[in-house]
Amino acid sequence: MGCAQETGRSILLDPRAEGASHAATRLLALQEFRAANTVKINPDTPQKNARFLTLEARKTLLVPTPRLRTGLFNRIVPPSGASKEILKICATSQGVKEFSVPVGLDGKARVDLVVVGSVAVSEKGWRIGKGEGYADMEYAMMVSMGAVQEDTPVITIVHDCQVLDIGEELLGDHDLTVDYILTPTRTIKTDCKRPKPRGIIWHKVSYEMLEKIPILKSLRYREKQAGKDVTLQDEQSDLTNANTPAAVNEKVVAENSRPQAAMGLAQPGQHCVGSASLSPRLEGSGMITTVYVGNIPPSVRVSELKSALREFHATPFRLNWQGAQHRAFLDYKDKTTAESAVSSLKGLSLGGNTWRVELAKNQRNKGQVEINSQK
């Protein structure tokens, strides 16, 4: 967290340089930190000491997964009776990998304090990140999950030279503001009046972002079920131009799904579960490709799986539901369709678990299947 001077202006150098550890110790003097039971802190190197101090205070530490690829949070679980040295290891990026367990969307996480990094921040609480928007998205996702409230304090830890004047015109309604700024020399209470994001702003989310952050698919599905408008950025463009490639692709997917739905899955209340005979055309082709869905919680019903498959345009022509074994097998007419389904369903989290979705190891051929290969 160092700075250098150039023609009278402060320019940022390596954010992992001197000052970060000392700035983090200012957490200990904050009543908001002392009162917190669960603290969410970014996995960046400058926040390492903040993570250690949280673990040393015997608080629950939540760390976002790298680039949100495999979920939202990991909870750090140090070994029983861990020494100070072990806690320091747990606070490192390697320790986060070795001593953590995932927290699902339905894990009922309640975050009492949020700690984020910044490239620049103003004393008014206006923050600029690295430009990728992950901290803003993490907060919006926490709102969507019910993990944070309007009054949940947000803190950033920076070097003194990163505290700058920032024009409000640079901020959008999705940008996260902060309540406290900790530097090596100061603790700044911003008294920021600008509201924080009130959830995911779906019309600013693209299809590309949905693919990069699979957990967004689950949140979008859940919010759509609750009746919220979850129209994506790309979909808004599609509405104004029905001939765009995305719109044409959606139409093709929908048309391809209809005959599959007619074969027993898409009708509400209809249970096409088990090993019904294949149609003669498909049975003769020997091209059936099966997708394995595992880690399904006992609370999830087959109707919920069917609904999710329809929503994500992943409707198979047959579903083999094995709820007692927490798994299901989805039959598709060819490998391309099956691979598309895996891509659409990857990262899906329902019932508190992130489901395991992959092509079955031993594929069905002419009506035969080996399911014991999936553990």
Q: What is the per-residue pLDDT across 221-235, written as a single tens digit (0 to 9) for each?
A: 888 888 888 888 877
Mean local confidence (pLDDT), 202-222: 82
pLDDT at 233: 80
77 confidence band (pLDDT: 50, 70, 90): very high
pLDDT of residue 161 exceeding 80: yes
70 confidence band (pLDDT: 50, 70, 90): low
Segment of 65-69, 237-241, 294-298 carrying the highest mean pLDDT = 294-298
Q: What is the per-residue pLDDT across 96-140, written as a single tens digit (0 to 9) for each?
A: 888 988 776 665 778 999 999 899 999 999 898 876 677 888 888
This model's pTM is above 0.85: no
Alpha carbon distance 117, 128 (integer Å): 9
Closest of 62, 35, 243 to residue 145, by C-alpha: 62
299 confidence band (pLDDT: 50, 70, 90): confident
Alpha carbon distance 328, 253 (integer Å): 22
**In the CATH scheme, what is the homologous superfamily, with its name and number, of domain 259-359?**
RRM (RNA recognition motif) domain (3.30.70.330)
- Class of the CATH-defined domain 3-189: alpha beta
With a pLDDT cut of 70, the percent of the chain lying above it is: 73
Give yes or no for a contact between 216 and 67, defined as CB atoms under 8 angstroms apart: no
SS3 of 96, please?
Answer: helix
pLDDT at 355: 81
Considering only residues 243 and 189, tell me which one the structure prediction assigns the higher pLDDT: 189
Domain boundaries, the chain: 3-189, 202-236, 259-359
Residue 106 to residues 40, 212, 218, 233, 255, Cα–Cα distance (Å) = 17, 21, 11, 26, 33
pLDDT at 11: 40
Q: What is the per-residue pLDDT across 335-359, written as a single tens digit (0 to 9) for each?
A: 888 888 887 787 777 776 778 888 8
